[in-house]
Structure 1
């Protein structure tokens, strides 16, 4: 309506101007004549348009119809050409080079302006497209989502239906960028976008809001089964490998879901809750979906408190080490101890390592925490040695992230020098996941061997282990995972324990069983030539002062 009033006013004014020019050329007075309303009416219409725009600001702020702009501009140039032809007609018998030159100049200007207009219109269309589309995948972007979700929620509210919002984050996508480069990563995002559109069909709208994060809006949901069908289709469709420039890549999504109106009645809350559900999906092993529920916020809030608490835990002396004996089951004597980290938070209380270690890994704080553990444990074992207590070796767990630090070897060397501990009393326990990067791990393990530090593979048999890696890696000990020890009555577990022990012995590796809780397990392990063990049967992890009693008594543990 606004543009129609404005357009009408300009048309009337142009007609009045043309009539005035015509009568002026014919030496006929035009002022005070019938054409005066042609100037007054446009002013009135412009005023009305101004009043209308104040009352309907949203409508007038929207993009004006393309045909109004285009037709209005063309009409102006047609009017100029008409006026030029009128001048030539009236001066037909007196045309000179000046009039011809002027006419050609005006025509050239008009042609150039029309050409520029055409280019500008094309450019504006591109800008409009980019305003609502992601340039890499051609999916809708966050701006378009902000517009669409308001319309979807309003429609769902008026119809009494549900609407669903899905937040999708690709698991381990950063690893693709880091190892294969951003070009492969971009191509993978394009392929994933196409696949998800194919899976979704007409059931919803897909948006890419940045990086490897996508949104899906499902409007007019009448049944929860539709949401589950869509989510399961996405997970199934993503399970097939992507072929990118000769690379076969498998990328899995973690999906969080929030539903209008149960989990939010506005766009901000729906997005926040779906995002929280997505993070829970990642916590639960990735490649799955989670529907938002209020307990998720409690979990995420606790995780945030743990993350924040870890930052100052070392300075505030909240960490402590407990020590658990390692025993020669043939003689019953203690031969070593494992240092285990404990954390007591002033508000959260005692936090399980199974809860805070993954957070420390994720945030990178495990590097500084691991250094504190190694230095504190080395200082303690040196104190016991200085006090004349029995000599035993010390085991300290090292995270993969810590192990892969460029200065890891130098850090171990510095701690040994500062604590004056002989390197052969130190054993570093590393998980099987180091085998993922066999070349780098082999180099680091060789450097540790040169230092005189022993190394062991923890939880052997549950992860990435292979016989080739076992032969290649310069390690000294393999620790049988507790899962094999729990049920040694199972013939399959017995066969595994026997096989690993025989392989370890043939490779000159010490084999130690962890998680021993019963005398019967000791007998069974000794039967299969597994000599060393660790577990609650011999002693639970205890603080340093209490552990000293074990050293002073030098008792028989078996």
Structure 2
């Protein structure tokens, strides 16, 4: 156009200069808008600025410049998508780091699920959210954690034959991403009271076995991207793995506190509970120490299998005691313990009598022979007879020794003057 102006400077000078000025102004406007668009790459304002620039450059008469501008917009669009993806990746890494730290610091299932919800809510809409747990072969699916419009809902169970996305995901082992209300209406999917229009349901697997489902729902249609599926998958798998680890730890811990033969608390559980009860409660704590009167004879005469039956019937009797505050333990060998919170001397004696009555009514059968199990018991009460858990146990043991010495099948209460209260 500059050449055109020079050639026609006499006839068209003023008109051509005017055209050049208009074009320059138009190009300047486009460049300003292009700069603004470049600055918005990766932000939420990119699309609106892109639309604005497109409306400007379509009015340009120069087809070469218009084509160039279109190419620039296409490339900027690609860069914008990559920037958004990178932002998502950074959010994922931050969230995974935060959640990984939580998983390493707690075995509390509720805390794990709450943290998962909080982190997911930071980067995607969660008008409703839940985590479901499932064990293969079960006919019920547990949903222990549900949020609806920011409010925590009570846990529920749903039948495995329910016509819901949750069941479908477990059966198919595939993610469901419903983007519109029309898709959602095909299933009985709703958790909570909201009018959900978009949802994602992701199966959670451990060792190729479905262990649960994690779901987020939004009241807007088309609320989620593919990256949201990935986020739920990663967070959900961390949740279910941590819950599985927590439950395995709990089972192992409980096993370490449980006597394998009788199912009662063991030596370790007894000492732990006694210390805790005395420190945290206790106006009074009674200890009843029990010893069988004939285990050695049974083992010698009938064998150790018969001896096991002998011990198991004592444990059954202890579990049958009507006093709900009495905790039963197999301490060692044929020694057993009762810890009874806030009990009186008469109640301590009553527990022993109730156990002795049970054993009299439930003899064991060995090789066609009916054998009644006999026990002796010694009792002591904190703080009446002791000021510490160790002294309490020692004095109950002293009372038990006196019961044995008095002829067995007796209960003796510890008193300081070495006389005995016998029944």
TM-score range, shorter chain: 0.3 to 0.5
Higher helix fraction: Structure 1 or Structure 2? Answer: 1
